Structure 1
Amino acid sequence: MTDYALLARQLRALLDTRDWLINSAQTSAFLMQEIPDLNWAGFYLQRQPELLSLGPFQGKPACNPIPFSKGVCGAAARSRQTQRIDDVHAIADHIACDSASQSELVVPIIDASGALWGVLDLDSPKADRFSEHDQAGIEGLVEVFREVTELGKP
């Protein structure tokens, strides 16, 4: 079982700047290295109304842009709630950037003013990859990112 408390301490130590670009790049690389069974880890940013734009990531080339009305990332942005999907192929409007992806976890990132800044998207080639424990742990890592990062306009 992944020790998310340890990962949170390590991420906090790694993020030694408040710059959103550096921190999102570092966080993507850290997650890809430390979380088993991922094939994509990265950020989508809200730079325009109702639209997510690709941000720093690790993995194969990604889909861009993603409207709030489509896919798991769009659902997280629209609802402002974490989306934990055991089987992405069961989602009618799933956006398949990498056909190897089987499950997905997307956590919305809300800035200090209450606005959606973006989402953290994790994909796995394993079905049922993300448990409740993983969801809570990743949400905690997003909170570390949010606390130490100046979430200005991306």
Structure 2
Amino acid sequence: MAEAFNEITLPAEKAERYAAVSAEIASVLEGEPNRVARMATVASMLANSFPHYFWTGFYVVDETKGDELVVGPYQGTLGCMRIAFGRGVCGTAAATRQTQVVEDVHAFPGHIACDSRSASEIVVPVIDGRGELIAVFDVDSEQPAAFDAVDREWLERILGATFR
């Protein structure tokens, strides 16, 4: 795997790193049908590619409840166990099926503080080939405003290619 950046970089450099890790993820996952293995690999490879990623992982739709997320494969400190749709950043992304980019999590209405060190967050809905929401992909950073349009574009692209 390519060496991770030592700091947050310029948008063009960040896009180049996403392009490289995207190709690496596709190569590693080629032929792997297991969804949990795919999620674990994506979380690990992305977490180890960007130093501003403090917590990186999936909250999976609990099929028995339908309107609740349960923690899935992740890298980082202890995550919240369950999150209701519409609650916090992850629940909002699940309910709206729209990527949430939050510069200051403490200013987000109803933010759930799984770890008080998190300062900013991006959450991307994960949609399968049938158009069903299967999870959200959550990345937290200890740095305020750590995520931007480059992160959004590439995470949506990587997750779309991996799970559709």
TM-score (norm 1): 0.91
Distance 1:79 1:92 in 2: 15
Aligned equivalent of 2:19:
5
1:27, CA displacement in angstroms? 0.8
For residues 1-154 of structure 1, the aligned pairs below 5 Å read: 1-2=13-14, 3=16, 4-16=18-30, 17-47=32-62, 48-147=65-164
Distance 2:146 2:133 in 1: 26
Q: Which range is displaced more, 1-10 or 121-130? A: 1-10
Q: Is the 8 A contact 2:67 2:84 kept in 1?
A: yes
Q: Which runs of 4+ in 1 moved over 4 A?
A: none
Distance 2:128 2:161 in 1: 13
Distance 2:93 2:75 in 1: 20
- Structure 1, residues 99-131: CA drift from partner, whole Å, max 9, x if none? 110000000011122211011000000000001
Could you tell me which runs of 5 or more consecutive residues in structure 2 were left unpaired when the two chains were aligned.
1-12
Aligned residue for 1:93, secondary structure, equals coil
Higher relative contact order (CA 8 A, sep 6+): 1
Q: How many residues align?
A: 147
Distance 1:81 1:34 in 2: 24
Aligned residue for 2:48, secondary structure, equals helix
Aligned residue for 1:34, secondary structure, equals coil
Could you tell me which runs of 5 or more consecutive residues in structure 1 were left unpaired when the two chains were aligned.
148-154
Q: Which range is displaced more, 135-144 or 79-88? A: 135-144
